[in-house]
Structure 1
Amino acid sequence: MDTKYTILLKDDVKLLEEAIVQFGRIVTFKQLSSLLKNRYTSAQSVRNRISFLLKSGWLIKIKKGFYVIITDLSNLSFNDISGMAITQALNKDSYISFENALQYHGMFDQMLKTVDAVTFKTARKYEMQNLQIRFSKIKSSLFFGFEKRRSDVGIVNIAEREKALLDMLYFRSVSSNIGLIWEKMKEYKEDIDFTRFKEYAGNFGVGIIRKTGFLLDLLEIDTSGLHKSIAGKNGYDRFTKESCKFNAKWRIYFDDKLIN
């Protein structure tokens, strides 16, 4: 990053302060332009001033037309803004899920360098500084199961525990992921709302219902309703490509080592 200029004019300081008050730490080109149009006579002058703020480190671009305002130039980064807040700013029609949501709910304590979110819009990936953001696309009928929570720079949509686990089951079929889901279901059995879990699972296809029912049976949770919902369905499913042991009730192949 070019950090040749670091001293701001009073007008620039005032501009950034006004932007934070009106729009928050994450702003758009259009929002900044609206504050600058009364100070500069041409659109090119406005673009030049925003370009200066970028080059001097007071703005960091997160995607075309979106910036983070830096309030502490000593680190020239947005480490003081959560990745979840930046993710929400990139796509307002999304919610934080997977391990990030589990971490928010106190169910995952490992360091994460990626923020995973779910959207009904286009799947995308962004990389900025030491942060990676991934959006996984889900059909509109499955875009539910999240709550609005206040963050450092605004409202963030975060998946409920139950939906985060189901999203992981839906999007990832590798053995390490299945093992993690099972581990969290066992460890946080008292915190998970299994009535909600089953209700949400019923909105997914037969494959997820089979996987959910199998895991809930192991936890001795009543699955009669789930089983009834797929009664008479032919075919079978697998937890992973390597799963080779068959459960007749749920018509699903599983692997003992994943559920021990």
Structure 2
Amino acid sequence: MKLEYLKKNTQDLLVLNKNLLRTLENKENVLDANIKYWLKKGELISLKKGMYILKDIFVREKNKDKFLEYLAEQMIQPSYLSVEYILAKYQILSEPVQSLTLVTIKKTQEIQNNLGIFRYYSITKKLFIGYENKNNDDLIIFEATKAKALFDFLYFRFLKERPVNTVEIDNLRLNWENISQKEFQEAKRYLKLTNSKKLKKLFKIIEEKYYA
């Protein structure tokens, strides 16, 4: 299969997968050789095993950050942007974030490719809520509200091993002044969907310390 043939027949698609490519080239050994060659030449970019984008598609995107957000959610579905990435966006985290972080009902995992690092945190189905469709230039991107991103962050940090006390809360180095009382109460409401006494204790300490 020629590269131009691939481009012509996938010009309306942003993401390609192996099954789609098989409809254009039914000889598996030829297809594998094509993919290997295009990857080596940089004409094709691997997102994860069996999922790719054409270099031309990535280059023509003006808003690379938004496109990466879109790709992150395409790699693992369903998922939404949350945790550190969203907290950093609202200047709640004191330190810069080096990866895109998402929440999913699939397993916890990390994907690294030439475009970046993508971390996915696994959550129960009943807590897979609190996100919005941030449609941007026809790209559908699901993003946690500020309140849900805060809840997700605390949920993953404290649900298991980490003890709940004021020292650990201070060590989070969060800019609590960037979270309003209303937003904190919204985050607190998600506690109704978990039976964790530890998380309830955590929110109680935070409320007394920053929102009394």
Specify the TM-score bucket, using the shorter chain as the normaliser.
0.7 to 0.9
The 10-residue stretch of structure 1 (211-220 or 171-180) with the greater mean CA deviation from structure 2: 171-180
Check if 1:198 corresponds to 2:188.
yes
Match of 1:94?
79
Greater Rg over alpha carbons, structure: 1
CA distance in 2, matches of 1:108, 1:215: 16
Deviation track 1:70-121 (CA, whole Å, cap 9, x = no partner) reads 11899xxxx9364422321111112211121123446458542212212121
Match of 2:203?
212
Is the 8 Å Cα contact of residues 168 and 181 (structure 1) preserved in structure 2?
no
Deviation track 1:20-74 (CA, whole Å, cap 9, x = no partner) reads 41x21x221222332x24xxx7343333333322221111112110112111899
CA distance in 2, matches of 1:17, 1:133: 30
The residue type equivalent to 1:183 in the other structure is: L
CA distance in 1, matches of 2:50, 2:150: 34
Is the 8 Å Cα contact of residues 85 and 152 (structure 1) preserved in structure 2?
no
Match of 2:177?
186
Is the 8 Å Cα contact of residues 92 and 176 (structure 2) preserved in structure 1?
no
Cα separation, partners in 2 of 1:131 and 1:177, compared to 1, 3 Å: farther
- Which residue of 113, 118, 122 corresponds with 1:137? 122
Is the 8 Å Cα contact of residues 72 and 118 (structure 2) preserved in structure 1?
yes
Match of 2:64?
80
CA distance in 2, matches of 1:72, 1:157: 21
Deviation track 1:200-236 (CA, whole Å, cap 9, x = no partner) reads 1322322112211221233445xxxxxxxxxxxxxxx
Cα separation, partners in 2 of 1:217 and 1:122, compared to 1, 3 Å: same
Match of 1:228?
none
Is the 8 Å Cα contact of residues 88 and 97 (structure 2) preserved in structure 1?
no
Identity over aligned pairs, percent = 21
Cα separation, partners in 2 of 1:45 and 1:182, compared to 1, 3 Å: closer
Match of 1:33?
22
Match of 1:19?
10
Normalised to the residue count of structure 1, the TM-score between the two structures is: 0.64
- Which residue of 21, 34, 42 corresponds with 1:57? 42
Match of 1:67?
52
Normalised to the residue count of structure 2, the TM-score between the two structures is: 0.77
CA distance in 2, matches of 1:70, 1:64: 17
Structure 1, unpaired ranges of 5+: 1-8, 222-260
Cα separation, partners in 2 of 1:194 and 1:19, compared to 1, 3 Å: same
Cα separation, partners in 2 of 1:28 and 1:177, compared to 1, 3 Å: farther
Cα separation, partners in 2 of 1:177 and 1:85, compared to 1, 3 Å: farther
Match of 2:155?
170
Is the 8 Å Cα contact of residues 147 and 157 (structure 1) preserved in structure 2?
yes
Cα separation, partners in 2 of 1:150 and 1:216, compared to 1, 3 Å: same
Match of 1:113?
98
- Which residue of 17, 29, 33 corresponds with 1:48? 33
The residue type equivalent to 1:193 in the other structure is: E
Structure 2, unpaired ranges of 5+: none
CA distance in 2, matches of 1:100, 1:73: 21
Is the 8 Å Cα contact of residues 202 and 209 (structure 1) preserved in structure 2?
no
Cα separation, partners in 2 of 1:169 and 1:113, compared to 1, 3 Å: same
